[in-house]
Amino acid sequence: MNQGRVSVSYARALFDWANSKGLLIEVYAQSKKLQQFMIQNPEIEQLLSSPGIRISRKQKVIETLLTEYAPLLSTLVILTIRNQREKHLPIILLVFQKLYREQLGVAKVMIESATELNINTLKGISSYLSKKLSKEIEIEQRVNQALIGGFTLTIEDKFMDKSVKGELELFRKKLMRTD
């Protein structure tokens, strides 16, 4: 079975289970928390993918960690370990989150700016996009000083660059074409 099908199968099962138990919101929040924890602690992914560590040892470590970070996901993670599918866990979480957003009409928005935007600006952007898209907005902000000024906006799979760096790049390309 290929990696995509495995991830989708597990994510769909998690979604269906959480939905049937009325736990979608909680499982979604915990999936994001676990995903962030795994990004910040790459040794967890190394532990999971290491063939030299016994399954029982992996289970004990993961159960201990998940008690704090994502107790509702412990069964899923243990199941992936037992079925030797643990390397798929990051993708399973992403696919589950996408299923959740699609089902509940939520648009994921990433705004990247040269400086941190204040809460009122973020609320204004969120409100505007919510009305425009007729969806609830889940906004994430990143600071990237290389943008110089302005911002980039990614709405699901659409990208808009309104940064000074992006405008300078467009200007450079126009100059190169006129030669």
């099962």: which residue's tokens?
13
Residue 178: band (very low, low, confident or very high) from pLDDT cuts 50, 70, 90: low
What's this model's pTM, rounded to 2 decimal places? 0.81
- Indicate whether 64 pLDDT > 90: no
Amino acid at position 135, single letter:
K
- Tell me the percentage of the chain whose pLDDT exceeds 70: 97
Point out the least confidently predicted range of 15-24, 64-73, 98-107, 117-126.
64-73
Contact 148, 114 (CB under 8 A): yes
User: How far, CA to CA in Å, does 151 sit from each of 17, 111, 121?
Assistant: 39, 7, 12
Q: What is the per-residue pLDDT across 82-122, written as a single tens digit (0 to 9) for each? A: 898 888 999 999 999 999 999 999 999 999 999 999 999 99
| pLDDT for residue 49 | 80
Rounded mean pLDDT of the chain? 90
**Residue 122 burial class via C-beta count within 10 angstroms: exposed 0-12, middle 13-18, buried 19 and up:** middle
Side-chain-facing half-sphere of 128: CA atoms under 13 Å = 8
What mean pLDDT comes out for the span 139-164? 91
